[in-house]
Amino acid sequence: MDKLRAIVTGIHGYVPEYRLTNKELESLVDTNDEWIMSRTGIKERRILKGENQGTSVLGIEAVKGLLEKTGTDPMDVELIICATVTPDMPFPATANIIADKVGAKNSFSFDIGAACSGFLYALQLGAQFIQAGTHKKIVVVGADKMSSIVDYQDRTTCILFGDGAGAVLLEPTTENLGIIDAILKADGSGENFLHMKAGGSRKPATLETVANREHFAYQEGTSVFKFAVTNMADVSAEVMERNGLTGDDIAWLVPHQANKRIIDATANRMGVGPEKVMMNIERYGNTTAATIPLCLWEYESQLKKGDNLILAAFGGGFTWGAIYMKWALDPK
Ligand code: UT7
């Protein structure tokens, strides 16, 4: 039998309406637009407002739009994987909630928590089910409501993050297209630099943990920056090298949107010019598991069948990785 590969046959994204601008942040913490733009490249982020609005709300919008756009009957979806670090609740999985609300009643579903690399982890996992020949329609969604775990009194983190979701449909092909190669990595010693101190089984919520503001994302930015620059660039170069690719062969770098300076360093190392780098960090900030599918969604009309894409990410865990994908669709 011909080798099966997983191709992306549809992509859709969703960001909430509310725009949190650098100007507004200036009224919350001691910061300014010039500092934020020059250090990160972020101008504004989208925030999901309202009571009882969890990450699933973002994921449902992205997946519903995806199914409509691709003309997919929700009952034909066999698996939904949701990458998120801000699940609606510790359990059940946010993927279960999304599956229910979009009518994917025949699907099994689960979450993956690999922070900013979550979408890459989930995409590779989904691709494996397709390549094994056991599943034919899989939805991979990256969704995070980062505003639910951001401390708007901490100027070192609150400027970075936003809310959003992006989803892809994976289906099989026997053509030499789709997900060709992936390198995924993790180093648990990174927990010291990027984590949430309380609310898990090690330190359950108490009045004290709440008073100490321990239920927010904690980051030692400069250390994370150094790890991110090195590892995201290294792994991208590694996946190119082992597939015999040079910068000229790459149509697009699709990087996790954490910091424009990290993206520039990665592109530089790969020998890829800025015109081939997908970037929307200025408008959305870091949406964690959603950055990569949101980029693909926004650049979809510029993608051509056969384009070589390198998807690259680095995030909490530490986790990082790069995926080499040949785009399978021509623009509509
Ligand atoms: O996606 C998950 C992985 N996360 C990342 O990849 C994030 C990686 N880290 C970063 O992107 C950067 O480290 C940050 C953007 C978070 C910070 O940039 P930096 O160039 O590393 O700045 P810094 O933390 O070294 O701070 C430089 C100065 C400090 O002041 P002093 O000590 O030099 O007087 C900070 O207190 O900037 C100050 N500062 C700010 N000033 C204005 C820190 N945050 C702010 C702020 N506004 N929001």
> Tens digit of pLDDT for each residue in 77-92?
999 999 999 999 999 9
Query: What residues contact residue 315 under an 8 Å CB cut-off, 6+ apart?
Result: 114, 115, 116, 117, 118, 194, 256, 258, 288
pLDDT tens readout for residues 140-163: 999 999 999 999 999 999 999 999
Cβ of residue 16 lying under 6 Å from some atom of ligand 1:
no
Closest by CA position to 233, among listed 263, 203, 274: 263
Based on the fold, state whether residues 153 and 186 are members of the same structural domain.
Answer: no
Could you give the CA distance from residue 36 to residue 9 in angstroms, rounded to a whole number?
36
**Domain stop point among 176, 203, 229:** 176
Taking 80 as the threshold, does the pLDDT of residue 197 lie above it?
A: yes
* pTM of structure: 0.97
Kindly state whether residue 331 falls inside one of the protein's structural domains: no
Mean pLDDT across the stretch 316-332?
94
Kindly state whether residue 332 falls inside one of the protein's structural domains: no
Domain count, the chain: 2
Kindly state whether residue 138 falls inside one of the protein's structural domains: yes
The predicted pLDDT at position 330 comes to 85
Percent helix / strand / coil, the chain, rounded to 5: 40, 25, 35
Could you give the CA distance from residue 128 to residue 122 in angstroms, rounded to a whole number?
10
**Domain stop point among 125, 153, 176:** 176
Neighbours of 247 (CB within 10 A): 17
Question: What is the edge-to-edge ordering of all strands in the sheet holding 163-173?
Answer: 5-14, 163-173, 138-145, 79-83, 108-112
Mean pLDDT across the stretch 32-43?
97
Sheet strands (E) in 74-173: 79-83, 108-112, 138-145, 163-173
Residue nearest to atom 30 of ligand 1 (CA): 156
Taking 80 as the threshold, does the pLDDT of residue 270 lie above it?
A: yes
Instruction: Compute the chain's Rg from CA coordinates.
Output: 19
Mean pLDDT across the stretch 248-258?
98
Based on the fold, state whether residues 52 and 114 are members of the same structural domain.
Answer: yes
Mean pLDDT across the stretch 192-203?
97
Cβ of residue 116 lying under 6 Å from some atom of ligand 1:
yes
Based on the fold, state whether residues 20 and 68 are members of the same structural domain.
Answer: yes
Cβ of residue 197 lying under 6 Å from some atom of ligand 1:
no
pLDDT category of residue 269 using cuts at 50, 70 and 90 = very high
| Burial tier of 263 (Cβ tally within 10 Å: 0-12, 13-18, 19+) | buried
Kindly state whether residue 24 falls inside one of the protein's structural domains: yes
**Domain stop point among 176, 192, 215:** 176
pLDDT category of residue 229 using cuts at 50, 70 and 90 = very high
Taking 80 as the threshold, does the pLDDT of residue 272 lie above it?
A: yes
Could you give the CA distance from residue 130 to residue 150 in angstroms, rounded to a whole number?
36
Of all residues in the chain, the percent with pLDDT exceeding 70 is: 100
Based on the fold, state whether residues 54 and 190 are members of the same structural domain.
Answer: no
The predicted pLDDT at position 121 comes to 98
Range of the domain at 49: 5-176
Probe ligand 1: pick from 149, 156, 187, max atoms within 8 Å of CB? 156
Cβ of residue 228 lying under 6 Å from some atom of ligand 1:
yes
CA angle 43, 44, 45 (to 5 degrees): 145
Mean pLDDT across the stretch 20-36?
98
Mean pLDDT across the stretch 111-139?
98
For residue 31, the ligand 1 atom closest to its alpha carbon is 47
pLDDT category of residue 101 using cuts at 50, 70 and 90 = very high
Task: Provide the CATH number for the domain around residue 38.
Answer: 3.40.47.10
The predicted pLDDT at position 331 comes to 80
- What residues are labeled active site? 116, 256, 286
Based on the fold, state whether residues 166 and 209 are members of the same structural domain.
Answer: no
Based on the fold, state whether residues 132 and 269 are members of the same structural domain.
Answer: no
Based on the fold, state whether residues 54 and 163 are members of the same structural domain.
Answer: yes
Based on the fold, state whether residues 168 and 208 are members of the same structural domain.
Answer: no
- Write down the residue that tokens 């969890």 correspond to: 54
Based on the fold, state whether residues 194 and 172 are members of the same structural domain.
Answer: no
Mean pLDDT across the stretch 95-99?
98
Kindly state whether residue 224 falls inside one of the protein's structural domains: yes
319 DSSP β-pair partners: 186, 315
Kindly state whether residue 109 falls inside one of the protein's structural domains: yes
Q: How many contiguous H segments (helices) and E segments (strands) does the chain have?
A: 10, 13
For residue 286, the ligand 1 atom closest to its alpha carbon is 1
The predicted pLDDT at position 174 comes to 97
Q: Read off the tokens for 213.
A: 């503001």
Residue nearest to atom 46 of ligand 1 (CA): 31
How high does pLDDT run on average in the chain? 97
Cβ of residue 272 lying under 6 Å from some atom of ligand 1:
no
The predicted pLDDT at position 2 comes to 83
Taking 80 as the threshold, does the pLDDT of residue 1 lie above it?
A: no
Based on the fold, state whether residues 142 and 225 are members of the same structural domain.
Answer: no
Kindly state whether residue 250 falls inside one of the protein's structural domains: yes
Based on the fold, state whether residues 201 and 158 are members of the same structural domain.
Answer: no
The predicted pLDDT at position 187 comes to 97
Based on the fold, state whether residues 237 and 153 are members of the same structural domain.
Answer: no
